[in-house]
Structure 1
């Protein structure tokens, strides 16, 4: 595995942090969207909008076509990040609250790290895993202590969403080292367009006029920031700083998301949330210090 400079690692953490901030609004925004539109249509619409934007950027930049050997990785990114996670998380939000779904995102660092090992060849040390597991336990324990509502179907859907998202993150990060972060998500979105465009018309809602301004805002956010712009920073950060290391920044995403949920969806923010956030931040610092 190539040795990374301190400058690359620092840039990776900065870009990764920006990506996490943008992703933090995904679940609250998705909740706003699925309150007015079906989860399937929301998944298709966000991928179509982001795909058309990505196609425009690729054409404007005269980007080179990906190599045939990279198509499999791009398909995995598309299945995990363009289709799998958006669809599964949207379906889950029919059964659980936004706050409940956000808590599951605390498991993303572990999922990303595992796939970073399987697909990216990274080998973090034992202390890294201790901090990573402790950070994830902080998130899970907060969910339990907060007494979030439970739904078996919603829980299973979110676990599957986290699984496929971790695969897409790790695969995209590995490929970003070769063709660049924005090209990875752009080509993954473009590869999805032949499927998404026809489905957009098939699942286009009859009551589109009844969609509220908040519903459109939610769809717009997840289409532009969650589906495209956020990935540009995220994949670049993972490629620069390392998948397993920078991936631990995802431990902060549930709490940024909960803060946004409190503001957008008017959900209460407790003192315990702030306390656990501090604990998670310390775990992130620990993983950054000890990850190789």
Structure 2
């Protein structure tokens, strides 16, 4: 006869800690980068009040490189591996030199609303560069939503500028291509090294070019140290050129280049908001309608799987 044990075994209880939403941290960092970038065009307009176009680009790059170099020295970061230096050169050519120079030249004759067409097309171009460079294959739903969002932003920005193409469009088209290449290569490198080191070394790599360029440009172009001019160049150096790219590359490494790039669909609309607040520009009733369409497209691209 079997004897039952008087002790009863209590049922085990498993406590599961709350889990962070997958990719939330990366999405947040990429969104912070987009917010920083959205101030770039208004800050450039401010900077042009005190500097010439060549001086503005060179000085902002030198200041950003000083900030980055100080951080690299303070933390005793070793030199990047030789195999990463070609990629850093692409980042430097695209986001440190090419995009700032071409957009600054364009903003001499173009409004911020018209120049925002570059940012509206940049997510799609970045996704295309990513597919070619890294072999990523986003889903069909992703591409449909990306094209719809880019189309909505393009239609809005063209309508804002009166539908006429300007001489600055050549600069903007070139800026679009070099920036997409720099974003793609930077996002790839941020998977194997910290994102802030990617842009940090790219900035330092450009110093042999930017320091002489700054000295030469400042000797030929007049400088007027207005409050707007100084504030503009400081934001371009610290915010757009360094800190914004730090969180942007970290975000791309965490959630992937195609998905992170689609967050930039909101950048032209943010730029227009800053243009109203900082530059006194006026928006049409199309702005909230486009904003709603863009937010829907962003939601779809974030949920679609590769």
**Alignment TM-score, normalising by the size of structure 1:** 0.94
**What residue in structure 1 maps to residue 186 of structure 2?**
172
Where 1:248 maps in the other structure, the secondary structure is helix
Q: Does 2:270 align with 1:256?
A: yes
Unmatched 5+ stretches in structure 1: none
**1:202 and 2:216 are equivalent in the alignment:** yes
Q: Quick check: 1:8–1:240 contact (8 Å CA) kept in 2?
A: no
Once the two structures are superposed, residues 244-286 of structure 1 have per-residue CA deviations (whole angstroms, 9 ceiling, x without a partner) of 0111000000000000011111001222101101110110000
Deviations 1:228-251, CA, capped at 9 Å, x for gaps? 000011000000000001110000
87-96 vs 115-124, which deviates more? 115-124
- Kindly report structure 1 stretches of 4+ aligned residues shifted beyond 4 Å: 5-8, 205-209
Return the offset for 1:20: 0.3
Query: Structure 2 CA distance, aligned partners of 1:227 and 1:75?
Result: 16
Is 2:123 aligned against 1:109? Answer: yes
Alignment-derived partner of residue 237 in structure 2:
223
Partner of 1:32: 46
Kept in 2: contact 1:108–1:166 (CA 8 A):
yes
Number of aligned positions between the proteins: 288
- d(CA) in 2 for partners of 1:8, 1:168: 26
Q: Which digits, 9 at most, give the CA deviation of each residue in 1:16-51, with x for residues without a partner?
A: 001000110001101111233211111111110000
Larger Rg: 2
Alignment deviations for residues 114-155 of structure 1 (CA, whole Å, 9 cap, x no partner): 111122222101110000000000011112333437443201
Deviation at 1:111, TM superposition (A): 1.2
CA contact (8 A) 2:30 2:247 kept: yes
Contact 1:33 1:214 in 2 (8 A): yes
**RMSD between aligned residues:** 1.6
Quickly say closer, same or farther: Cα 1:209–1:118, change in 2 above 3 A. Answer: closer
- Give, in whole Å, the separation in 1 of the partners of 2:191 and 2:83: 14
CA distance in 2, matches of 1:125, 1:58: 39
Distance 1:195 1:206, change over 3 A: closer
Please give the alpha-carbon distance, in whole angstroms, between the structure 2 residues aligned to 1:139 and 1:33: 26
Alpha-carbon distance between aligned partners in 2 of 1:253 and 1:45, rounded to the nearest angstrom: 25
The question of whether the paired residues in 2 share the 8 Å contact of 1:96 and 1:151 is answered with no
- TM-aligned CA distance change 1:274 to 1:54, over 3 Å: same
Matching of residue 79 in structure 1 with residue 93 in structure 2: yes
C-alpha spacing 1:17/1:130, structure 2 compared with 1 (3 Å)? same
Q: Quick check: 1:290 aligned with 2:295?
A: no
CA distance in 2, matches of 1:104, 1:207: 27
Change (3 A) 1:7 1:75: farther
In structure 2, the partner of 1:281 is 295
Question: Which of 133, 139, 147 is the equivalent residue of 2:153?
Answer: 139
Greater percentage in helix = 1
Structure 2 unaligned segments of length 5 or more: list them.
1-18
Taking structure 2 as the reference length, the TM-score comes to 0.90
